[in-house]
């Protein structure tokens, strides 16, 4: 049992990390627990409302952690300065604005444990995080056998409205127009729900030379995508955009 230790909970404005924060506070009342968030400009603005509601629900301040190199916390700025948007290994926005921001915070704030929003069905991802990032992960939701759907139910039962992006059909509360997705289903959803974001991603990706979408195994620019093209069913292969970065398939684009 953990007593009188320091725990950092990384909240990403999604249902899973919100429940992880709540459960951590319930399970370890004797510990020094800090709830932390690295906001990204490209997230839907309703994420800030959700953060405020969750803060009231858990009864604890959610602290903001920003990058010293990119204090604007803009993914778009990262892509422009790096002249790179994404690859199968991930994207520079997560590296700079989440991972490196967290590492900067850690150099000043020493903690014994980290909590992320890995749900019960994401045990493999939690294990991979332990192997590749930090061996001091507390897999709260995995240990409690709490699924992503159950997280959403817990949030609703608490009287909190989920971030509006869920209602729009997105599988997580990550940035709108996430460049880690290669799915035509995903990008056509962005085209329908946020045409301004779609057009901006199309313009910037053309300028940088990043072919973000995959159709029948071939990479193309998103403005070349047929508006009626449908890939696989949207699925949350990444979960909430967190402290390490994988490519989001969101459907394989080969259908």
Which pLDDT score, from 0 to 100, does residue 133 have? 85
Tell me the mean pLDDT in the region 117-127. 95
Tokens representing 253? 């684009």
User: Is 170 a domain residue?
Assistant: no
**How many domains does one find in the chain?**
1
Q: Where are the beta strands (DSSP E) in 141-227?
A: 213-215, 218-220
The highest-confidence range among 52-66, 88-102, 123-137, by mean pLDDT, is 52-66
- 3-state class (DSSP) for residue 36: strand
Which pLDDT score, from 0 to 100, does residue 250 have? 39
Chain mean pLDDT for the chain: 91
The model's pTM: 0.87
Alpha-carbon dihedral of residues 226, 89, 97, 252, nearest 10 degrees?
30
Q: Range of 52's domain?
A: 6-162
User: Is 172 a domain residue?
Assistant: no
Tell me the mean pLDDT in the region 55-74. 97
User: Is 183 a domain residue?
Assistant: no
pLDDT tens, residue by residue, 204-219 = 999 999 999 999 999 9
User: Is 206 a domain residue?
Assistant: no
- 3-state class (DSSP) for residue 64: strand
Q: CA-to-CA distance for 26 and 103, rounded, in angstroms?
A: 26
Instruction: Tell me the CATH number at 63.
Output: 3.40.50.620
Comparing CA positions, the residue from 185, 154, 190, 161 lying closest to residue 174 is 190
- DSSP bridge partners of 8: 34, 114
Contacts of 65 (CB under 8 A, 6+ apart): 36, 37, 38, 101, 102, 104, 105
User: Is 207 a domain residue?
Assistant: no
User: Is 27 a domain residue?
Assistant: yes
User: Is 184 a domain residue?
Assistant: no
Tokens representing 194? 């946020």
Q: CA-to-CA distance for 179 and 42, rounded, in angstroms?
A: 11
- Tell me 234's DSSP state: P
Contacts of 78 (CB under 8 A, 6+ apart): 70, 92, 93, 96, 97
User: Is 84 a domain residue?
Assistant: yes
Q: pLDDT tier at 108 (50, 70, 90 boundaries)?
A: very high
Q: Is the distance from CB of 242 to CB of 117 less than 8 angstroms?
A: yes
């Amino acid at each position: 049992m953990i007593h009188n230790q320091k725990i950092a909970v990384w909240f990403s404005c999604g249902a899973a990390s919100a429940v992880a924060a709540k459960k951590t506070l319930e399970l370890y009342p004797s510990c020094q627990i800090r709830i932390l968030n690295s906001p990204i400009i490209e997230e839907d603005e309703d994420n800030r409302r959700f953060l405020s509601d969750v803060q009231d629900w858990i009864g604890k301040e959610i602290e903001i952690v920003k990058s010293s190199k990119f204090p604007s916390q803009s993914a778009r700025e990262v892509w422009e300065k790096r002249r790179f948007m994404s690859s199968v290994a991930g994207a520079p926005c997560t590296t700079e604005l989440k991972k490196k921001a967290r590492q900067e915070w850690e150099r000043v704030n020493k903690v014994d444990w980290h909590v992320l929003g890995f749900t019960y069905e994401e045990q493999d991802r939690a294990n991979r995080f332990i192997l590749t990032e930090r061996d001091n992960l507390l897999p709260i939701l995995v240990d409690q056998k709490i699924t992503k759907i159950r997280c959403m139910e817990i949030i609703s039962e608490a009287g909190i409205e989920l971030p509006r992006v869920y209602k729009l059909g997105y599988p997580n509360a990550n940035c709108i127009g996430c460049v880690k997705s290669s799915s035509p289903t995903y990008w056509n959803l962005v085209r329908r729900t946020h045409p301004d974001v779609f057009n901006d991603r199309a313009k910037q990706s053309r300028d940088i030379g990043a072919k973000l979408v995959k159709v029948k195994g071939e990479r193309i620019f998103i403005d070349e995508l047929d508006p009626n093209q449908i890939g696989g069913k949207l699925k949350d292969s990444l979960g909430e955009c967190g402290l390490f970065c994988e490519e989001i398939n969101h459907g394989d684009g080969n259908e």
